[in-house]
Amino acid sequence: MAGKTVTRADLSEAVYQQVGLSRTESAALVETVLSEICTCLAEGETVKLSSFGSFVVRSKGRRVGRNPKTGVEVAIEPRQVMVFKPSNVLKARINGVANGADEEADDD
């Protein structure tokens, strides 16, 4: 099932509608938040947003990969990758559970 893609403009409009800032101020606020997240991730920091999730930068070491068409082995250089780990609250909301705390209790 394909969903709608949320854009910066959509986020700015939501801030405009719900917070009451001007459209220009709303767009600047969204840009500032996204820029700060990008800066922190580029510096290797973890970005944790309560009740949403965490963006974590991980290091992947050098490894040997294989071209699926030809079968030729290729060296893959070390690199940094970003992963997103959703919070239990977000997971519960996606799965239609009213409260993330209920799901955590079931995991025990």
Among 84, 83, 88, smallest CA distance to 100 is for 88
Q: Are 90 and 52 in contact (CB under 8 A)?
A: yes
pLDDT at 106 over 80: no
Condensed to tens digits (0 to 9), the pLDDT of residues 24-50 reads: 999 999 999 999 999 999 999 999 999
